Structure 1
């Protein structure tokens, strides 16, 4: 249980490096294309890794669940980057990342009649409040209504991916699930690669960020996330993934030399408290992973 929580937190930390990585990408790299490249490189990496481990098999794939998982991960990219473009980085990120754990918990409630326990609600509220405080200093005066809707679409996409992946994990290995889902998602986003100039990819800088964003921040990160997800509730995993904006903010301070005001540090403290609270496992529940539906 605890190692699963650690896997999810490490995955979220790797996701938190994507913003910094994009900042080092060539200026010609459009956000939507950057997301498509991420899926293409990440999907191929994950598929090759699964094949190398001998985890791929033809049988045991619920077709509908697999298609939904691939679609949700494919839609997340344009939803998120378009939301950020229309509503601003702060508003788009807060709505997308902050809405995901609530949507995941509600979907578990509606679909599986699995009501999240009090611990999950408290931790999620604290984490979402922390994310909000973290981005308040840079928030724009207002975001477009369409941008907010797209950000909610990104949150829904991530929540659906988490739930459907958990179903696939009942019959498939984590490596196989991530490899197949991301490869299909990359195929779905492939047409975007023909709509923009891709000359930047062949540069040293472009190749470096493409490899990192695909192999490390996507391939390795989602392998860790899926491995952790197999042992903890989906709603808890999505709440733990809120470590992503925490990592992004700290990297911005350390590498880009951005200064964080007091209110941002308060947000970081709330995020840490929320993550710690949802990660804490009382001794009496050690033997039952599913009982900790925080």
Structure 2
């Protein structure tokens, strides 16, 4: 893997996380009739449809090359993330649920990368992850009243684990396969698993301009485009590093909360945003002079 490919991959992943960071603001602007499970299901359906169109225009035959067993497993964890995250947030609040769900993912990813990929994160990853997690915790502490619900905490942590496992499976699926084809198959499987939440639900709000704009944004930009970028980046970035980079999501959400929703943030909130950004910058910095090729070969 060349340094240029690695940097390009990290840029793709950060861009994906920035798009994910817009989802909270988008949902806050959604019609009141919308519910988290329905929004999650619509995201996967619209996003999967956008990815399918892209795959059909580029390499339709590649859709048949995606291993079904691995794709089903990845689709299960995509659906599990949606359910456990939204349910956890509803029980313990947006601030705590988001922090536990997103903040626990890099820890799980580091363990998974070591156990299943045989690749222990480097020292820089530990420092960067610690900075980003400390920043997320500081940002959480500045958000006002905090409500702790044990079941909600457990569900949010399950979301973090599901996201890490999904990332590991996607890493395996992306070997010698187009990113759009892999994401298309996985997301349609996840959408099928969440389809029951759409049965009998009031979807009339999606036909109004505000509802249509929210669904289009969440599906096409915050899902189809973001996960395409994430998969492209994951081709050249280790799992643990990729998941830590996605902590750009709470950074983006915090900034949008200030600029778009008019939320107030004090000195501790600004410190949290600065710490998150510092961790991401540290992770993107080069490690130094690489070893000669002969020294990199296992003995």
Q: How far apart, CA to CA, are the structure 2 residues paired with 1:141 and 1:273?
A: 25
1:63 and 2:76 aligned? no
Within a 5 Å distance, the mapping from 1:114-263 to structure 2 comes to 114-138=119-143, 140-263=145-268
Q: 1:258 to 1:167 in 2, by over 3 A?
A: same
Within a 5 Å distance, the mapping from 1:85-100 to structure 2 comes to 85-100=90-105
1:276 aligned residue = 281
- Where does the alignment leave 5 or more consecutive residues of structure 1 unmatched? none
Q: How far apart, CA to CA, are the structure 2 residues paired with 1:50 and 1:189?
A: 22
Q: 1:23 to 1:287 in 2, by over 3 A?
A: farther
2:3 aligned residue = none
Q: How far apart, CA to CA, are the structure 2 residues paired with 1:182 and 1:164?
A: 13
Structure 1: 4+ residue segments shifted above 4 A: none
Q: How far apart, CA to CA, are the structure 2 residues paired with 1:286 and 1:97?
A: 34
Q: How far apart, CA to CA, are the structure 1 residues paired with 2:292 and 2:240?
A: 19
Deviation at 1:220?
Answer: 0.6
The one-character-per-residue Cα deviations of 1:138-181 (angstroms, maximum 9, x if unpaired) are 25443111100100111011101111001001131111111111
CA contact (8 A) 1:9 1:241 kept: yes
Q: How far apart, CA to CA, are the structure 2 residues paired with 1:11 and 1:48?
A: 19
Deviation at 1:128?
Answer: 0.7
1:34 and 2:39 aligned? yes
Q: How far apart, CA to CA, are the structure 1 residues paired with 2:58 and 2:192?
A: 22
1:54 and 2:64 aligned? no
Q: 1:213 to 1:287 in 2, by over 3 A?
A: farther
2:114 to 109, 113, 120: 109
Q: 1:141 to 1:64 in 2, by over 3 A?
A: same
Q: How far apart, CA to CA, are the structure 2 residues paired with 1:37 and 1:58?
A: 22
CA contact (8 A) 1:82 1:147 kept: yes
Q: How far apart, CA to CA, are the structure 1 residues paired with 2:292 and 2:219?
A: 36
Q: How far apart, CA to CA, are the structure 1 residues paired with 2:144 and 2:248?
A: 19
Deviation at 1:101?
Answer: 0.8
CA contact (8 A) 2:66 2:181 kept: no
CA contact (8 A) 2:48 2:184 kept: yes
1:15 and 2:24 aligned? no
Give the structure-1-normalised TM-score: 0.94
Equivalent residue of 1:155, what SS?
helix
CA contact (8 A) 1:48 1:179 kept: no
1:83 and 2:80 aligned? no
Deviation at 1:58?
Answer: 5.4
Equivalent residue of 1:116, what SS?
coil
RMSD: 1.7
Equivalent residue of 2:142, what SS?
helix
